[in-house]
Structure 1
Amino acid sequence: MENKDDSIEDNTIYESETPSDLNGLQVSEKDKKLEEEEDEEEKEELSVEQIFEHKKLPTWQKQLTVGACGGIFSFSLFQLHYHEARPHHRYHNFSQCFCWAFRVLLHEDWTKLLEKTGWLKQPFTRQENTIIQICVITSFGITFSGGFGNYFFGMSDAVAKQTPNYDSPLDVKNPQIGWMMGYLALASFVGLFSVLPLRKIMIIDYKLTYPSGTATAHLINSFHTPKGAKLARKQVKTLGKFFTFSFLWGFFQWFFTSGNGCGFANFPTFGLEAYANTFYFDFSVIYVGVGMICPHIVNVSVLAGGILSWGILWPLIGTKNGEWYPANLSSTSINGLQGYRVFITLAMVLGDGLYNFTKVVGRMLINMSQEIRDKRNGILPVADGDSSGSPFPSYDDERRTKLFLKDQIPTWFALGGYIILAIISIITLPFIFPSLKWYYVLVIYIFAPILAFCNAYGCGLTDWNQIKTYGALAIFLISAWAGSSQGGGILAGLAACGVLMNPVSTASELMQDFKTGYLTLASPRAMFVSQVIGTAMGCVIGPCVFWVFYNAFSDLGLPGSQYPAPYAMVFRSMAILGVEGISALPQHCLEFCLAFFVASVLVNAIRDTVGKKWANYIPIPMAMAIPFYIGSYFTIDMFLGSLILLVWKKVNKAKADLYGPAVASGLICGDGIWTLPSSLLALARVTPPICMKFLSSSTNVRVDAFLASS
């Protein structure tokens, strides 16, 4: 049944009656002016959904339109944004920002064309816009999780030749479009069903922020804001200012990045010693924006994790170089300090994730039993009040929750889809990789939903997608299980990596998209259909783009080449380590892992025991774990964003609440969109003109002497 309010025309919300007194007499000009000012103030206080309240909400079927599909096809041309083929130090879910920008540039012309042909029967809505984003983001995500720069390419002969002791034909499989498409389809579609039943818990009950999804939603809402909303216009203007600043700042920084270790991102803010331990401000406004969206406890947690790991733990373990692990190893060798980083991070992530997964499942079972006992079929309320901290849900949260749960995706559909696709994969994948036995795949799919939850939960807190960490776990365990007695253990581990990485990453992207849809009132059913379409497109487009790189660059994957693909060698080294067994791990690594796993569980238990008030002062283990592996540079940025928002709220809380999300979204998306032209410049082999580096005084003296002598 159509909502009565939805049938009201857009402009009625902004219309006002001619002021008059109770006796029908004309009021004075002064009173009229005061009343108009009061009306204007009331409009200023309208929330997002109050502004859109009288916009007719299309059904989920109408959100899937020809216009959306046309826009989707246009975006697929930009799959050349292919970071995995190049060395990079960060992984983020900012493809939403690229897609939004090109939607603005391309979809307007596409819509006009459809209007002329008569195919466009309804106005272009924010819900349709969201569906476009979701389909493109899903397709785009396959490029990242598909492993074209790591486990896929790590199977190739080009990478295997760099490890001559392990170049058995059974451990080599060169890329081919056919088997890559089939493999990606089998591994990726499963992820769409793995955490689907948990969407309400992640988005509504836990209120996870998913900063990239939230930033995209703010952009979409601002793009479709009805005329007449004064506050909305101010928010859009604020967003545009910081979007432009962020984009131009990224453009300015590019001029100083001609070479490795060049540019503002390598500025030793706190000195060279701190810089060597990744403590520096890298001038990335993306992370500042993320810090403004994430809760303060998350930003404090990642900073605490960076201090604990790179400030204390890794320097201490580094003193055992040559004692606990061989000296003079490369910085990426799993046999050395990198092994501690990878596996201790895994232990913390799994400890936190498993604790919360168990808590969520327990809560679901309790709720289900109560519903059966009380014969209730109503919608569950928003847990713990709204996002503003009020004990009662706001108007926006009530409306969004109602519509988010309206078009339910049945649990039996999600479970049935996961089981059917898993069975197909278990039967089919061993034909593509004979060394990947069916029971390896079965075990992976038993644990994949748990790990998918862990990744989606961590991404919701900090916006970091930790798929490489989970991929390392799959490589090590399956390679160790397969062994090297009959060969093929390395290839089995690399193939298992994708079987786990793809559904785990897809689940994280899924929840990011649901967050965007929740904030724009898009139908979950329409979103899911869009995700299916996007996954199918990604499984075709990703291998094709990779095939272009693979054939166009004969030196692809070689050290010192333009595209060395360093992670391919790292992932293959992990598989080799797995084949060699646990004994190849550096000393005391397992003891450290066990200690941090237990610590993560205990900290979560303490947070739940002390109550919400005191829990806000106890760090979150999942957030602390991220800098353990990645580094501490982004923790400074995120903490700065949190500090800016905190000071802003102290000075003027009302303005901070109104404009803070717009500022953060502009910072995130402006810098994010600059990544696209910078990548195209790299593909065109356009080199920045300047290299800005920082040297110690002693090194500078030696450099000057060398230049003088030459």
Structure 2
Amino acid sequence: MWPLIGGLKGEWFPATLPQSSMKSLTGYKVFISIALILGDGLYNFLKIFYSTARNIHSRRKSNHLKTYPDDQNKAIDDLKRNEVFVRESIPLWVACVGYIIFSIISIIVIPLMFPQLKWYYVVVAYIFAPSLSFCNAYGAGLTDMNMAYNYGKVALFVLAAMSGKENGVVAGLVGCGLIKSIVSISSDLMHDFKTGHLTLTSPRSMLLSQAIGTVMGCIVAPLTFFLFYKVFDVGNPDGEYKAPYAIVYRNMAILGVEGFSALPQHCLQLCYGFFAFAIAANLARDLSPKHVRNWIPLPMAIAVPFLVGAYFAIDMCLGSLVVFAWHKLDKKKAGLMVPAMASGLICGDGLWLLPSSLLALFKVRPPICMSFFPSKG
């Protein structure tokens, strides 16, 4: 598509604009990616909301409100898990007091850090967050999909539109991060407590570990970010670390502030088409039989290469090819070992970033040039 759209320079967009301008070729890349991401997110959000509502309705209709059957029908290990989990449960007042304290801190601190986001927006966010968190946690339990980013996108558009042109972009981005963080942690905690239940771990120990990890993250995460930011050219569209989602979310905020006037010519029509394609592709995957479903592309996996380039798609294609071949050779072993292999690849790639960053700090940059000369005599 990009050579075709690039060939329309001077017709669809001014030839004098640089390619990096949002009114030029980059605008088509970014906003078409946004259309795919929003279409995919909206479909999955509605799908999970429907599954959640149907599940709650069926449970109320059957009056099957107990989480576990009668103890007499439970195995000994399940009874022991339930006993440990209930005995070490966290009192409701602790949760309420903690939420109120952290809400007050956020209402005071966040507007000081980001004056564009008014304190009353933070209050509203903390009022609606518990209900959104419940919906996200329940939906994640049913489908294993965390929809926090989609809740954040809704907050982004609403706050960007309400805050006006002067403050809308920053207010929308900060509000998006706030809602996403609150809603996301609910499903994460649910998964962690479920793991604690299965492993006979005290919920109080789990919560204390989460608190320690959060404090560590408040120190480690900023240091890691500034290390990355200092060493690598983060956010450069032509660099190694393009930070595509930073570009996507920023332009979502711009779209919320300026409306469709932020789009280059004919981009809106293309966005409509790709938004519809994302919904149609998801619908086809859900309605098709399994042997057909595996050949229908994922809109989210299409959206990222749209923005960052083909290398991402090539990586995913090679990985899928290895998995496909492994399943053909030994299906049983592949089913057990593929997650372990994927975890090893992800871990190895992540661990290499630390020595890579240290080498970059000392100005050691690949490739290392070597010269070979014929031996004398």
TM range, smaller chain: 0.5 to 0.7
Q: Does the 8 Å contact 2:156/2:172 carry over to 1? A: yes
Question: 1:496: Cα distance to partner?
Answer: 2.8
Question: Are positions 1:360 and 2:51 aligned together?
Answer: yes
Q: Is the counterpart of residue 348 in structure 1 residue 31 in structure 2?
A: no
2-structure distance, mates of 1:646, 1:682: 37
Say whether 1:534 aligns with 2:207. Answer: no
- Aligned 8 A contact 1:460 1:512 in 2: no
Match of 1:343, SS state, is helix
Aligned to 1:668: 346
1:436 pairs with 2:127 = no
Determine if contact 1:608/1:615 at 8 Å carries over to the other structure: yes
Per-residue CA deviations over 1:427-484 (Å, capped at 9, x if unaligned) read 433354443134544665648659977x989x978x9x996x9878766653443224
Q: Is the 1:344–1:596 contact (alpha carbons within 8 Å) kept by the matching residues of 2? A: yes
Query: Which of 264, 271, 290 in structure 2 is aligned with 1:586?
Result: 264
> 2 CA distance for matches of 1:564 and 1:332?
16
Letter in 1 for 2:345: L
Q: Is the 8 A contact 1:479 1:493 kept in 2?
A: yes
In 2, Cα distance between the equivalents of 1:505 and 1:632? 30
Does the residue aligned with 1:435 lie in a helix, a strand or coil?
coil
Offset from partner CA, 1:177-203 (integer Å, 9 cap, x none): xxxxxxxxxxxxxxxxxxxxxxxxxxx
Within 2, Cα distance between the matches of 1:488 and 1:513?
Answer: 37
Structure 2 distance, partners of 1:685, 1:424, is: 45
CA deviation digits over 1:223-250, x for unaligned, max 9?
xxxxxxxxxxxxxxxxxxxxxxxxxxxx
So what's the TM-score if we normalise by structure 1? Answer: 0.39
Deviation at residue 592 of structure 1 after TM alignment: 4.1
Q: Deviations over 1:42-61 (max 9, x none)?
A: xxxxxxxxxxxxxxxxxxxx
Per-residue CA distance 1:211-267 (angstroms, 9 max, x = gap)? xxxxxxxxxxxxxxxxxxxxxxxxxxxxxxxxxxxxxxxxxxxxxxxxxxxxxxxxx
Instruction: Find the aligned partners of 2:281 and 2:245 in 1 and give their Cα distance.
Output: 35
- Describe the shift of the 1:433–1:634 C-alpha distance in structure 2 as closer, same or farther (beyond 3 A): closer
Conservation of the 8 A alpha-carbon contact between 2:173 and 2:250? no
Stretches of structure 1 lacking an aligned partner (at least 5 in a row): 1-312, 380-398, 693-710
| Aligned ranges 1:647-666 → 2 under 5 Å | 647-666=325-344
2:319 maps to: 641
Which position in structure 2 is the counterpart of 1:210? none
Counterpart residue type for residue 359 of structure 1: Y
Contact 2:38–2:275, Cα closer than 8 Å, also in 1: yes
8 Å contact from structure 1 (residues 475, 494) kept in 2 = yes
Deviation at 1:414, TM superposition (A): 11
Matched position secondary structure for 1:436: coil
Equivalent position amino acid for 2:326 in 1? W
Identify if the C-alpha distance between structure 1 residues 531 and 540 changes in structure 2 by more than 3 Å, giving closer, same or farther: same
Match of 1:161 in 2: none
Alpha-carbon shift at residue 374 of structure 1 (Å) = 3.7
Match of 2:28 among 327, 337, 351: 337
Residues 1:375 and 1:436: Cα distance change in structure 2 (over 3 Å): closer
User: Residue 482 of structure 1 corresponds to which residue in structure 2?
Assistant: 163
Question: Aligned to 1:483, what secondary structure does the other structure show?
Answer: helix
Equivalent residue letter for 2:344? G
Q: Flag the structure with more relative contact order, 1 or 2, with Cα contacts below 8 A and sequence separation at least 6.
A: 1
CA pair 608-416 structure 1, distance change in 2 beyond 3 A: farther
Cα deviation digits, residues 477-536 of structure 1 (max 9, x gap): 53443224xx4444434433432454466568x389749948994748344432232112
Q: 1:407 aligns with which of 85, 88, 102?
A: 85
Return the letter of the residue paired with 1:498. G
Q: Which residue of 2 aligns with 1:62?
A: none
Is the alpha carbon distance of 1:685 and 1:545 closer, same or farther for their aligned partners in structure 2, counting shifts above 3 Å?
A: same
1:339–1:585 CA contact under 8 A, matched in 2:
no
Query: SS of the counterpart of 2:330?
Result: helix
Structure 1 Cα separation of the partners of residues 148 and 302 of structure 2:
13
Aligned: 1:369 with 2:31: no
> SS at the partner of 2:318?
helix
- 1:687, 1:650 → 2: CA distance? 41
What code does the residue aligned with 2:321 have? L
Q: Deviations over 1:119-151 (max 9, x none)?
A: xxxxxxxxxxxxxxxxxxxxxxxxxxxxxxxxx
| Partner residue, 1:684 | 362
How far does residue 688 in structure 1 lie from its aligned partner after superposition?
A: 2.9
Alpha-carbon distance between aligned partners in 2 of 1:355 and 1:688, rounded to the nearest angstrom: 47
2:178 corresponds to 1:499: yes
The answer (yes or no) to whether the contact 1:404–1:523 under 8 Å persists in 2 is no
Question: What letter corresponds to residue 68 of structure 2 in structure 1?
Answer: G
> CA 1:365 to 1:576, structure 2 compared with 1: closer, same or farther past 3 Å?
closer
The secondary structure found in structure 1 opposite 2:326 is: helix
Cα distance in 2 for residues equivalent to 1:624 and 1:568: 14
Residue 35 of structure 1: aligned partner: none
Amino acid at match of 1:538: G
- Residue identity matched to 1:357: I
Summarize deviations over 1:384-434 as a string: whole Å, max 9, x none.
Answer: xxxxxxxxxxxxxxx99x969983778979996897478537743335444
What is the TM-score normalised by the length of structure 2? 0.65
In the TM superposition, what are the counterparts of 1:183-198 in structure 2 within 5 Å? Answer: none
Pair 364,580 (structure 1): closer, same or farther in 2 beyond 3 Å: same
Closer/same/farther in 2, CA of residues 430 and 649 from structure 1, 3 Å limit: closer
CA distance in 2, matches of 1:619, 1:643: 15
Q: Label 1:378 to 1:404 Cα distance change in 2 as closer, same or farther (>3 A).
A: closer
Asked whether the 8 Å contact 1:479–1:490 carries over to 2, the reply is yes
Q: Which has the higher helix share?
A: 2
Distance 1:548 1:631, change over 3 A: closer
Distance 2:267 2:198 in 1: 46
User: 1:365 deviation in Å?
Assistant: 1.0
Rg larger for: 1
Flag structure 2 segments of 5+ consecutive residues without an equivalent: 70-76, 371-377
Number of residue pairs the alignment of both structures matches: 353
Contact 1:331/1:338 (<8 A) preserved? no
Partner-residue secondary structure (3-state), 1:587: coil
Instruction: Give the residue type in structure 2 aligned to 1:690.
Output: I
Is the 1:333–1:339 Cα contact (8 Å) retained in structure 2?
no
Amino acid at match of 1:583: S
- Contact persistence 1:347–1:594 (CA under 8 A): no
Contact 2:30-2:307 at 8 Å conserved across structures:
no
| Secondary structure, aligned partner of 2:85 | coil
Q: Following TM superposition, by how much is the alpha carbon of 1:348 offset from its aligned partner in structure 2, in angstroms?
A: 2.2
Distance in 2 of aligned mates of 1:411 and 1:600: 44
Q: Give the superposition deviation at 1:339.
A: 3.4
Q: How far off its partner does 1:370 sit?
A: 4.8
Cα distance, 1:568 vs. partner? 12
Compared with structure 1, are the counterparts of its residues 549 and 403 closer, same or farther at alpha carbon in structure 2 (3 Å cutoff)?
Answer: same
Q: Which residue of 2 aligns with 1:251?
A: none
Superposed CA deviations along residues 313-366 of structure 1, whole A, max 9, x for unmatched, are 555544444444444545554442243234213322322331232133224413
**How far off is 1:598 after superposition?**
4.4
**2:104 is the alignment partner of 1:424:** yes
